[in-house]
């Protein structure tokens, strides 16, 4: 699904953002990316949706490799298989919830008669069937994020990439949005979610990948937690 193989990313001005990252997100899996600000979580996500190219190593998403992709058209076609959600929702303020979701289908040339049923279905799925005609300013933060999730889901993505999706939400809305992401995952969509909300991480047994200064320091799939490692080191 998503494969990072020895991936490093350096920026000319700020230096190394990611160092030698290797992990694999499987089909239908849910994984958290955790770590302090600047640890490299968003860099991993940007690399995963090919917003950026790695300085070295290879990123492979749904069969498309960063070493082979050449044109913007290829990236565009890959993104149609992904759903991407951000902390700041990124909705168009002058369009209704319905139009915001439909927008994602229109711009990839979906047939007109297919748009309305799919938009209605996905807005119902996120619990906003009654707010189709509402503009973003008329919705709460949690509702706006649900519209953004609906937009990400409407193309039936194989993986949902979420960058701090609960970062701007209160506790109640956070729980609601997180439950929605869990439901989406249960239905078969893989989820890669960057978050600061350790309460959410601890409340589940989902896989956790922890980053520190651009390095993966912990992966619950194949490693012992860093704190435990340190404790073991002190004992030996």
Partner 1 sequence: MRIAFRDALHAVRKAPLLSALSVMTIAFSLFAFGLFGLVALNIKGVLDTVEERVEIRAFVADGTPTEDLVRAVNEISRYREVLSARIVTQAQALARARRELGEFSDVFEEGVLPASIDIRLKPGSRDPRGVGAVASRIKTISFVDDVRYGEDWILQLHRLRNIAGATGVSLGLAFAVVAVIIIGATIRMTVLARSKEISIMRLVGATDAFIRSPFLIEGFAKGIAGGIIALLLTWGSAATVEHYLNFKAIFFDQRLVLFGLAGGALIGLLGSGYAVGRHLRRV
Looking at the Cβ atoms of 143 and 210, the one nearer to partner 1 is 143
- Helix (H), strand (E) at residue 161: strand 159-163
Interaction of residue 116 with partner 1, rule CB under 8 A: no
Looking at the Cβ atoms of 15 and 109, the one nearer to partner 1 is 109
Interaction of residue 106 with partner 1, rule CB under 8 A: yes
Interaction of residue 68 with partner 1, rule CB under 8 A: no
Q: Please pick, from the candidates 14, 72, 130, 236, the single residue that binds partner 1 as defined by CB under 8 A.
A: 72
Interaction of residue 146 with partner 1, rule CB under 8 A: no
Of 81, 94, 106, the closest CA to residue 189 belongs to 81
Looking at the Cβ atoms of 69 and 223, the one nearer to partner 1 is 69
Interaction of residue 133 with partner 1, rule CB under 8 A: no
- Helix (H), strand (E) at residue 174: helix 171-186
Interaction of residue 79 with partner 1, rule CB under 8 A: yes
Q: Please pick, from the candidates 56, 65, 107, 224, the single residue that binds partner 1 as defined by CB under 8 A.
A: 107
List all residues 6 or more positions away from 54 whose beta carbon is below 8 Å from its beta carbon.
7, 8, 9, 18, 47, 66
Cross-strand pairs, 133: none
List all residues 6 or more positions away from 205 whose beta carbon is below 8 Å from its beta carbon.
none
Q: Please pick, from the candidates 60, 80, 182, 196, the single residue that binds partner 1 as defined by CB under 8 A.
A: 80
Binding-residue total with partner 1 (CB under 8 A): 20
Looking at the Cβ atoms of 148 and 216, the one nearer to partner 1 is 148
- Residue found under tokens 């990236």: 75
Distance CA(80)–CA(12), nearest Å, equals 30
Of 223, 228, 224, the closest CA to residue 22 belongs to 223
Stretch that binds partner 1, among 2-10, 104-112, 208-216, 217-225 (CB under 8 A): 104-112
Bridge pairing between strands 15-25 and 2-11: antiparallel
Interaction of residue 49 with partner 1, rule CB under 8 A: yes
Interaction of residue 189 with partner 1, rule CB under 8 A: no
Of 127, 130, 123, the closest CA to residue 152 belongs to 123
DSSP 8-class letter at 138: G
Interaction of residue 206 with partner 1, rule CB under 8 A: no
- Residues in the site for partner 1, rule: CB under 8 A? 49, 72-73, 76-80, 84, 90, 92, 94, 103-104, 106-109, 151, 155
């Amino acid at each position: 699904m998503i494969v990072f193989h020895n991936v490093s990313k350096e920026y000319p001005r700020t230096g190394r953002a990611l160092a030698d990252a290797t992990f694999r997100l499987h089909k239908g899996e849910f994984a958290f990316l955790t770590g302090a600000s600047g640890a490299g979580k968003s860099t991993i996500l940007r690399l995963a949706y090919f917003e950026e190219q790695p300085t070295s190593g290879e990123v492979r998403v749904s069969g498309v490799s960063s070493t082979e992709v050449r044109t913007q058209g290829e990236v565009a076609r890959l993104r149609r298989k992904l759903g991407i959600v951000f902390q700041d929702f990124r909705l168009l303020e002058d369009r209704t919830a319905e139009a915001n979701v439909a927008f994602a289908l229109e711009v990839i040339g979906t047939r007109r008669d297919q748009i309305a049923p799919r938009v209605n279905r996905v807005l119902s799925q996120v619990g906003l069937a009654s707010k189709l005609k509402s503009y973003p300013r008329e919705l709460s933060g949690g509702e706006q994020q649900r519209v953004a999730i609906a937009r990400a889901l409407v193309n039936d993505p194989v993986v949902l990439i979420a960058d701090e999706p609960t970062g701007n939400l209160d506790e109640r809305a956070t729980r609601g949005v997180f439950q929605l992401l869990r439901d989406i995952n249960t239905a078969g969509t893989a989820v890669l979610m960057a978050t600061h909300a350790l309460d959410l991480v601890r409340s589940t047994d989902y896989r956790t990948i922890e980053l520190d200064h651009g390095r993966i320091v912990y992966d619950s799939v194949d490693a012992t937690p860093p704190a435990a490692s340190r404790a073991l080191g002190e004992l030996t």
